[in-house]
Amino acid sequence: MDMNKYLNIFVEESKEHLQDLNTSLLELEKDPDNTSILNEIFRVAHTLKGMAGTMGYAKMSDLTHKMEDVLDSLRNGKIQISPDVVDVLFKCLDALENYVENVSMTGDEGDEEYSEIIKFLSGISNKNNAVHTTDIHDNKTAEKEKNGDLRLELNIYDKNVIEKAFEESLNVYEIYVELDQKCLLKAARAFIIFQILEKYSDVIKSVPSVNDIEDEKFDYYFTVMVISEKEEEFFTKELASVSEVRTVEVTKLTRDHTENFKRKPDSDKKQAHEKEKKVKHGITDSSPKSTEKRITAKTVRVDIERLDVLMNLVSELIIIKTRLDGIISDDRDRECAQTLENLERVTTSLHDSVMKVRMVPIESVFNRFPRMVRDISKELNKDITIHMSGEETELDRTVIDEIGEPLIHIIRNSADHGIEKPEERISKGKDKAGNIWLRAYQDGNNVVIEVADDGAGIDIEKVRKKVLDKGLESEESISGLSDEEIIQYLFQPNFSTSDKVTDLSGRGVGLDVVKTKIETLGGSVELISKRGQGSKTIIRLPLTLAIIQALLVMVGTEKYAIPLNSIREIYNVNPEDIQYIRNQEVTVLRDTVIPIIRLHDVLDIDVKEPDTNKKQLTCVVVKKGEKLSGLIVDSLINQQEIVIKSVGKLLSNIRCIAGATILGDGNVALILDVNSIV
Amino acid sequence: MSTNQKQYVVFRIDKDEYGSDINKVTVIERMLTITRVPKTPPYIKGVINLRGDVIPVMDLRTRFGLPEKEADDDTRIIIVEVDNISYGIIVDSVLEVIQLDETSIESVSGFVNNVSLDYVSGIAKSDTRLITLLNLEKLISELVTV
């Protein structure tokens, strides 16, 4: 059985199910009497068990099985939901997550047994288990009763074969094998047994038929008839050594038996038939559930690479459209212009649709945080509530995949450093429970994610001291820095103000990692903090990564693209309005002092001769977070949709360039990285 | 063809002939419009649009310390790919593709050449000609490690 092609689906779906379980379990913790949540948990756990079983992950399925037992007891009211039980169930989920993680990395579930958890689970569901075992017992005795006669009926052909065997003084055995009820891959087990049998004997008959056994269409037992020269004991021993075999009964056939066959009523057959039916029923029972779920979801799983290909093609199309636009812009008749407009409409909506396909609600990232915050607050003995909003905000899939880690860092920081201990909070006159707000919303072409807490805030003085200690600023220069500028130091590598390093944070590898990660995604991070009132981290991310609106500008003889989402406004400055503050050119825009950056200098472009006739300078005001800067350019060309292309590995180290794009005339224009210029 | 023969693209820069392993050459293009990229070494002329891909281009004249020359009808950009990095090299002209026997290639130790020996992988003799074989990985190693 080749399971590899199902591996990805298994991993994906398991992750989803585990996430569901996490969410439901959290709800259950808050609302222990809600049976519908419990039922939901039970259902998902059951599906998970089935999936793990089918894939042959015995440990995983065993663990879910135990979990199911506990859930069942909960459902039947045999045990009450207590914090202990919930904790163990959460631990189960973690263990299962580890299994799935292992599976996704290596294709194997790993060796971890989590016997502690299993023991605990069994402890909880003891009562339930007792019932379970008697069930099995009953079953077994029922089987035994039938044992007096042979289970198999033989047709004439079989009989002839047996007769012949007797003539050759070979032994004929009827072997009854019962597998352990916990056995997951019954078919595989049976296959092993058959292999052993075939090695030492000729199998002449099997009930259920070999085909059915291979298709797993049997309960936990089957009977075979074999011819062999070996002794009875040999088979008993060989087969019993196969693991997960509960009973092996080998009956030696005599001529009497063969006589018996003739008049054997087929009641057994009927029974077997009914059993089979039941089994089949069991299968169909569970399948509508899963299909039902699929119907409600109405989704198709598509490999992200395929979407990338589609995206690239759309990009190409847009380039060609822009090019076409450029070629016929000079003398276009009405019809041509109209067709071009239509084309533009189509390409724009095509682009939008492809983008939308790649968009995933941020919920998939957010929904792991309640669980995380719960764990952290337990660990730190803090009382923390997390409030989330805007989970439906959508982001590009590639961004979603990357944003989880940085957010975990930030939330951990808030929970560990930010929120104070309950006693401390009370003494400060705050509510005993700390709050963390996680908020996502769309702002133009950006998606903003805010993580705020009502904790202690950042101790600016402590940071100042640390900056001095590390020799990053001199005594003199630091006094000139504002609190905001001091906070920026937190984003430096190896900069931690925490007195002690905890499991969660404080190693000083946090915020700089967050910053680099988000900047590689084309976003920005900002940290605002009020001592005693809490802090707020604001992450801005671009909606799309591949195609953006940009303003094309002329600097010297070169064309550059500035992403439109970083442009605040454009205005003309009179040269005499430019003043100097500490050797930095600045100008005043509506009472705000903004630094002036001459792109000629940044981009090493020769200014042939200063155009003295020109009265005014064109200034493109760009924003980086809340900070504004003015970029001086020679002239503006137009606003245009551009496709971002990488400049390749060779030039990836150039700071001021975010990428390149191909213009309508086929030439390349560079995209300015506003974040690194200002 | 014996197994120790390899094909090389031979091109001219200034008065000298150079060769590059043909397996590393993707395509040879006529001169294209080059967009300058700021903050790069002088020998990086900029980037070109090669059928939708943006590819950096290096001027071997500048790289070898030779005087610059206006592009003309013979000027070519050879696009090469090494270690999954594509880049172009500007050459005065592309001459031919020849087969060289490994025995005709001599190591550069002991040679004195105006090309820094670092990016020369060997010197090949073909009849009366001397062809300097370039090490395309070394040409960009400075940029990759930065």
Cross-chain Cβ contact A650/B36 below 8 Å: no
Q: What residues of A are in contact with residue B31 (Cβ under 8 Å)?
A: none
SS3 A27: helix
Chain B touched by A605 (CB under 8 Å): yes
3-state DSSP of chain B: CCCCEEEEEEEEECCEEEEEEHHHEEEEEECCCCECCCCCCCCEEEEEEECCEEEEEEEHHHHCCCCCCCCCCCCEEEEEEECCEEEEEEECEEEEEEEEEHHHEECCCCCCCCCCHHHEEEEEEECCEEEEEECHHHHHHHHHHC
Query: Could you tell me what percent of chain A has a pLDDT over 70?
Result: 83
- Report the distance separating Cα A392 and Cα A583, nearest Å: 47
Averaged pLDDT for residues B43-47: 91
Per-residue pLDDT at A322 exceeds 80: no
Chosen for mutation from B29, B30, B36 (greatest number of chain A CBs closer than 10 Å) is: B36
User: Chain A closest CA to B52's CA: distance in Å?
Assistant: 7
Interface predicted TM-score of the whole assembly (ipTM), two decimals: 0.85
Binned at pLDDT 50, 70 and 90, residue B92 comes out as very high
Cross-chain Cβ contact A667/B33 below 8 Å: yes
Helices (H) and strands (E) in chain A, counts: 24, 22
- Report the distance separating Cα A489 and Cα A95, nearest Å: 38
Q: What residues of B are in contact with residue A649 (Cβ under 8 Å)?
A: 84-85, 144
pLDDT (0 to 100) of residue B97: 92
Q: Does the annotation count A68 as an active-site position? A: yes
Per-residue pLDDT at A356 exceeds 50: yes
Q: Which domains does chain B have, with CATH numbers?
A: 5-145 (2.40.50.180)
pLDDT (0 to 100) of residue A152: 67
Say what the pTM is: 0.48
Q: Which domains does chain A have, with CATH numbers?
A: 4-131 (1.20.120.160), 149-264 (3.30.70.1110), 304-360 (1.10.287), 362-542 (3.30.565.10), 547-677 (2.40.50.180)
Cross-chain Cβ contact B49/A668 below 8 Å: yes
User: Chain A closest CA to B49's CA: distance in Å?
Assistant: 6
- Report the distance separating Cα A661 and Cα B49, nearest Å: 9
Q: Which of B52, B55, B146 is opposite residue A648, by nearest beta carbon?
A: B55
pLDDT (0 to 100) of residue A54: 77
DSSP state of A420: P
Chosen for mutation from A650, A657, A665 (greatest number of chain B CBs closer than 10 Å) is: A650
Residue pointed to by tokens 């029922």: A142
- The tens digit of pLDDT for each residue in A192-237 reads 888 888 887 888 878 777 777 777 777 777 888 888 887 878 878 8
Chain B touched by A407 (CB under 8 Å): no
pLDDT (0 to 100) of residue B25: 93
Cross-chain Cβ contact A319/B52 below 8 Å: yes
Arithmetic mean of pLDDT over chain A = 76
Chain B touched by A291 (CB under 8 Å): no
- Which residue out of A128, A413, A565, A675 is catalytically annotated? A413
pLDDT (0 to 100) of residue A507: 41
Q: Does the annotation count A22 as an active-site position? A: no
Chain A touched by B38 (CB under 8 Å): yes
Per-residue pLDDT at A545 exceeds 70: no
Cis peptide before A208 (omega within 30 of 0): yes
Chain B touched by A667 (CB under 8 Å): yes
- The tens digit of pLDDT for each residue in A13-64 reads 888 888 888 888 888 888 877 778 888 888 888 888 878 877 778 888 888 8
Say how many CB pairs under 8 Å bridge A and B. Answer: 75
Per-residue pLDDT at A74 exceeds 50: yes
- Report the distance separating Cα B60 and Cα A71, nearest Å: 73
Q: At what angle do helices A304-327 and A334-358 cross, to 10 degrees?
A: 160
Q: Does the annotation count A147 as an active-site position? A: no
Cross-chain Cβ contact A604/B87 below 8 Å: no
Q: What residues of B are in contact with residue A316 (Cβ under 8 Å)?
A: 52
- Report the distance separating Cα B14 and Cα B91, nearest Å: 9
A617-624 and A627-633 beta bridge pairing: antiparallel
Q: Token pair of A337, please?
A: 């212009």
- Which residue out of A17, A22, A46, A249 is catalytically annotated? A46
SS3 A2: coil
Cross-chain Cβ contact A651/B85 below 8 Å: no
Chain A touched by B51 (CB under 8 Å): no
